[in-house]
Structure 1
């Protein structure tokens, strides 16, 4: 990630299942919004729209919680804020701040799954096209006998940068600034990419969901470097 009963594998599976359920409960609760390494691929009713202040009436556009992560939610009067309001018009329980909670969880899980080559986890969190790109990189890594280690040491910033609603399909784009360690090693253990040092990285990810779907998961549909 010997002999004897593989208790460690069972425990890992239980932990992974718990994390997936936890993530889906945040991203797919209809309360909200939902990095591979640099080599990864990277009908609205106006009457239903809420008043701008109702999107996040108690929170400023940018807040620095105790954990140190700076979070930015667009001003309700801005074009992005208006798009979020339209999303809430279709899904009244939609909350951008709740979405950012799930987005951070998704970010960490996808980075980890990509590094470990966990295709099952990636299938649950990525759309088909994005998954194909990620899987292609994993395939190439495995053919070369390479392994990757990726760790998100800290999340410095998260900001909602764009939002769109087409019919009942919503897209929300988040900018992540994180401190990470990313190292790719060859068969003999020598480093072929990255470095065993903390680097600040900025990524822009777009998540999508049909707000009327029974599937509550916001899936990653696009990635790029900031």
Structure 2
């Protein structure tokens, strides 16, 4: 993490990777800045909105942190300030960078931004966009059974590698699993509130149960088959067998 630097600009505190971005400013977290350059490429569904932007480092995903659930209806994007190192953006940036350094398939973090406002703060994160990657959810709805079976096998194999590394992905669902169907490459994204600890079977089972519930919401009739294909890949992983 020696390439990471921190700066303050226009009330924002920014952490960024100098190997990817030699220079950065508060403009990077201003929608008007990207619109004026015609650099907004589109958006992705999720909590709040993630924007695809064309940056000097390449195509990137800019995500503003939004609350979910009942709290999110009243307090959309404010979090209690407990110090910079405990902010959602700082923790996710550093965790993603650590996972990347471990050789796991995750996006490259470019920059994190925190804006303190008295006792609260808001935050943003920018990561490199993954090539030809689409949410697993899209394929669960559309793909033929044989192709989907192979894809879910690879998803299971990949998730097990993260669990073997000690990751607790607290929001494992088909939106946060990206795939490239042409290569069967799989990535995990969105590590907000996730932790890296020692491998733990109970935590791994909890993650998988959450994924199963997400499968059920999409199609209860297909959940058993989807989960079987996923678990076949999970059990095939070398790290699982060792």
TM-score where L is the length of structure 2: 0.25
TM-score where L is the length of structure 1: 0.26
Q: Which has the higher contact order (CA 8 A, sep 6+)?
A: 1
Flag the structure with higher strand content: 1
